[in-house]
Amino acid sequence: MTIPKHIPVLTDEVIRLLDPKTGDTFVDATLGLGGHAAAILEHIGPHGKLIGIDQDEQALQIARTNLRPYQNQLALVFGNFRNIGQLVKGTGTRLVDGILFDLGLSSYQLDARARGFSFNKQANLDMRMDTKGSLTAEIVVNSYPREKLAEIFREYGEEPKAHIFARKIVEARKKRRIVTTQDLVEVIGGPQAAKQPWRAGRRGRIHPATRVFQALRIEVNDELNAIREALPQAVELLRPASGRNGHPALRGGRLAVISFHSLEDRIVKRFFQDLKTGGSVNILTKKAVTPSWSEASRNRRARSAKLRVIEKI
């Protein structure tokens, strides 16, 4: 089997800000193919431990192969990070030194034709990160009422034509079921939109289906609620700073989150600010860290990435 390649985003910045040390215990809550995990494992050494979580069983299997040199330091867990507290404690771990979330869709999932995440690839309208889940994008577009579709496109896709696209979908599905990615693209953008891959022009235009696909993916996987549920649990898992008998305090555990669109970043930013106001963390990133020009030019999927990091006190 050919092992898919993955270029992790903001790896140098993640390592610098999480600052993993020899013997530390870390959690990669969105393991993917293991790119960030490998970098962390290099720093925590043979006496360190990394717990890798992912709800995509295929990705987890690939990560196991990619991280084989570190198998004695590694605990791989299948599950949704919205249950991170339970999943981590299930490995016998109570507190950790650092946690990383790399949110959204992985390059592997986007490139996997059968998963139906990309409007540039003909596939069934699936979009499940956990392939055992019951809700698919096909069910959403063929059964949700027009008002609910418009709400999803507006809230999750920030789509200005939400009501127009919802109406088009409802009218189209009266004639025949919308089954594939290209069926949906044609409904939204017309026959020409489905005939060839779309590339942004000089004025930065995007494919008319871009925001609709994003919104459907978020709805199918309940992504924003999962983030809201996971972040407080993650903070509880972090080791607090400590110092005794006049000795300098050991630094607290650190939580790093990489987001890729404004909805995710807004949740993370507000949560971190609320924690700081409550006096329980320090924010280590006054502004979100973004990729360098060099990284963005090498990896176009990194361009929208934003990294925020806190330390428990």
Q: Annotated binding site for S-adenosyl-L-methionine, which residues?
A: 34-36, 54, 81, 102, 109
Long-range contacts of 168-171 (CB under 8 A, 24+ apart): 169/141, 170/145, 170/146
Annotated binding site: 34-36, 54, 81, 102, 109
Helix 181-189 × helix 162-175 angle, to 10°? 120
Q: How far apart are CA 291 and CA 299, in angstroms?
A: 10
- Contact 291/14 with Cβ under 8 angstroms? no
Q: How far apart are CA 141 and CA 162, in angstroms?
A: 13
Q: How far apart are CA 277 and CA 33, in angstroms?
A: 36
- Contact 132/145 with Cβ under 8 angstroms? no
Query: Which residues does 153 contact at the CB level (< 8 Å), separation at least 6?
Result: 159, 161, 162, 165, 166, 211, 212, 215
Strand-pairing partners, residue 233, are: none
